[in-house]
Structure 1
Amino acid sequence: MEKIMIVEDDRKIAEYLGSYIEKYGYHVVIASDFHKIMDLFLQENPSLVLLDINLPSYDGYYWCRQIRKESICPVIFISARTGEMDQVMAIENGGDDFITKPFHPDIVMAKIRSQLRRAYGEYAAKYEERVLAQAGLSLFPERFELRYGQKVAQLTKKETDIMESLLERYPRVAGRQDLLEKLWDDQMYVDENTLNVNITRVRRKFQELGIEDAVETVRGAGYRLRITWDEGQE
């Protein structure tokens, strides 16, 4: 079942949208803590996000940029703002569509279906999917998915980028500098510990697949993948 995440601080509007969308067979997740939007997003891994602009603490543009660092799932802005520049800002910050309030729920549903078809269905771009395979592991970068035998782990965008570098370099070392360049455009503002945190998350994904000690730290150089393929995983 496809999952729709609603980020709207007007609870009545959020619940109205949620109940209407659920009638069409979708699972709905409504954000309630507007300081932890990304925590909810990463936990739920929705197929599409409905995102208001005017939100507590950070606006919808900010959250859309954060989502784009982790996912390419469709984002539809819903806002009372009607100016052309607001719609331009929504698209430039990573949005896929824009709906103005007040709205008719049928219009919302039509746009949700359209974006889901474009992203995942009959209108999705047809191309040969990339697969990186090494030592029994199969990484599907466009899906943010790692497979080992019959087990599957869902990844964030940064976890996927790290996995891709490790698999491409296997059995050689993926240098810290190379990983930083792949993950962040401007390394001047990246804390040294940030890469360590992301490597820890990658190790946890391997543990989900039943693989311990998969990523070796090579002191002064970087990280290396250490996997022994078990034929019994097939």
Structure 2
Amino acid sequence: MQNVLIIEDDPKIAEHLQSYIVKYGYNAIIVANFDDVMDEFHNQKPDLVLLDINLPSFDGYYWCRQIRKESICPVIFISARVGEMDQVMALENGGDDFITKPFHPEIVMAKIRSQLRRAYGEYASHAQERILETEGLKLFPERLELTFRDKTVPLSKKEADIIESLLERYPRVAGREDLLEKLWDEQTYVDENTLNVNIARVRKKFEAVGLPGSVETVRGAGYRLIVNW
């Protein structure tokens, strides 16, 4: 049975989420100690985290960064904040998805199932490590690493998925709809700015390995990898 860790300081909301998650056959644990969320994380070893932004002591962005230092388990933010920058901050700090309050429990469950399938489903792992390579650029999807020559940068799961699509489609265009379908099962619930944010993050990762300008925007179509090194 897969474990879902609920980091939410409103007891009624936390219990509401827990009841639905358990109803659908998962184990759900509510964090009680907000002074050391990572202690609970280590003890419970969750397969997925539901994380509020407004929390005692430290906010959800902080705790997501701490989780990302040692785990790539899916993190879904759930917050009453509805501003575009709040969603951007959630993604920039390592989140995989964002749900606004008030929420419909069925949407929460759909997103939980989607993230768990992508992280642990039958296609998530392989007996032999995959390496995608083009002109010396190497992507390690299972390690979540991008390497070029002597430089290596860590990737989020979504960044790795985008780069994988760009490499697989090269020199063709990776369409926006194709990327959305690969990254999110429930396209209806994805803010259109979310893909733009992730593409911006991917561009920064290419810059970090010494390859600026490697992702071209093809207006009205999508994105294309530019190999000019």
TM-score normalised over the length of structure 2: 0.55
- Secondary structure of the residue aligned to 1:99 is strand
Structure 2: how far apart are the matches of 1:48 and 1:55? Answer: 18
Q: 1:121 matched to which residue of 2?
A: 121
In the aligned structure 2, how far is the partner of 1:124 from the partner of 1:24?
A: 22
1:94 is paired with a residue whose SS is coil
Matches within 5 A, 1:9-158: 9-124=9-124, 126=126, 128-129=128-129
Unaligned runs of 5+ in 2: 131-141, 144-229
Q: Deviations over 1:177-212 (max 9, x none)?
A: xxxxxxxxxxxxxxxxxxxxxxxxxxxxxxxxxxxx
Q: Distance in 1 between matches of 2:110 and 2:80?
A: 19
* Shift of residue 127, structure 1, vs aligned partner: 6.7
Deviations 1:44-70 (A, max 9, x none): 100000000000010000000000011
Distance in 1 between residues matched to 2:106 and 2:123, nearest whole Å: 21
How far apart are the structure 2 equivalents of 1:72 and 1:84? Answer: 24
Report the alpha carbon displacement of residue 38 of structure 1 after superposing the two structures with TM.
0.1
Distance 1:103 1:34 in 2: 23
* Whole-Å separation in 2 of the counterparts to 1:86 and 1:125: 32
SS in 2 for 1:5: strand
The residue type paired with residue 80 of structure 1 is: A
Structure 1 residue 122, shift from structure 2 partner: 3.6
Instruction: Output the CA distance in 2 between the equivalents of 1:36 and 1:80.
Output: 23
1:99-139 deviations in Å (ceiling 9; x for gaps): 00000000000000000011010452657249xxxxxxxxx
Cα RMSD after superposing both structures: 1.7
For these two proteins, the number of residue pairs brought into alignment is: 132
Write the distance in 1 (CA, Å) between the matches of 2:11 and 2:122: 34
Q: Distance in 1 between matches of 2:76 and 2:117?
A: 14
Work out the CA distance in 2 between the residues paired with 1:125 and 1:84.
33
Distance 1:85-1:127 versus aligned 2 partners, 3 A rule: farther
- SS for the counterpart of 2:32 is coil
Q: CA deviation at 1:24?
A: 0.7
After TM superposition, the score normalised by the length of structure 1 is 0.54
Match for residue 151 of structure 1? Answer: none
Aligned with 2:112: secondary structure? helix
Structure 1 consecutive aligned stretches of length 4 or more whose deviation exceeds 4 Å: none
Max radius of gyration: which structure?
Answer: 1
